[in-house]
């Protein structure tokens, strides 16, 4: 009977300490949440002001008249037609502009798009 009493005492003390720590952590998290909400509201009030105008970098368009060869335009048209699975006669190229890179390569952009598309297909198959 002595072992049973000791084991019950150890179990109750262990469970009591565990629940006390969990309750204490919950209170600390609640206090942190309240403080972050007040900081966010304070920062939001300070940030609300007249928005700054963003300057845009304009990349000049290149057309066939300005030195872009007809072969390059034909290659671009063929690539667009192949990706859209249409005939080249249905596509009209109005202008060719360089993409702003912002320090990132076209391959990195294509890789990100590939990842996004694969995830969308995965979730579409699962019905999520």
- Write the CA distances from 40 to 18, 27, 36, 49, 68, integer angstroms: 33, 20, 6, 16, 52
The answer to whether 101 and 111 have CB atoms below 8 angstroms apart is no
Give 64-114 pLDDT, tens digit per residue.
456 677 788 888 888 888 888 888 888 777 777 666 666 677 788 888 889
Q: Is 18 part of a structural domain of the chain?
A: yes
Does 31 lie in the same domain as 68? no
Give 42-64 pLDDT, tens digit per residue.
766 655 555 555 444 444 544 44
Does 78 lie in the same domain as 41? no
pTM recorded for the entire structure: 0.33
Range of the domain at 17: 1-45
How many domains are contained in the chain?
2
Structure tokens at 42: 């304070």
SS3 109: helix
Euclidean distance between CA atoms 44 and 1, whole angstroms: 64
């Amino acid at each position: 009977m002595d072992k049973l009493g000791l084991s019950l005492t150890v179990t109750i003390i262990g469970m009591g300490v565990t629940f006390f720590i969990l309750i204490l952590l919950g209170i600390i998290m609640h206090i942190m949440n309240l403080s972050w909400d007040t900081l966010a509201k304070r920062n939001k009030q300070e940030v609300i002001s007249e928005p700054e105008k963003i300057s845009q970098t304009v990349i000049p368009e290149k057309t066939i008249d300005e030195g872009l060869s007809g072969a390059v335009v034909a290659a671009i048209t063929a690539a667009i037609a192949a990706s859209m699975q249409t005939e080249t006669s249905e596509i009209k190229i109005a202008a060719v502009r360089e993409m702003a890179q912002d320090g990132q390569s076209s391959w990195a952009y294509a890789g990100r798009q590939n990842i996004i598309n694969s995830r969308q297909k995965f979730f579409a198959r699962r019905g999520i």
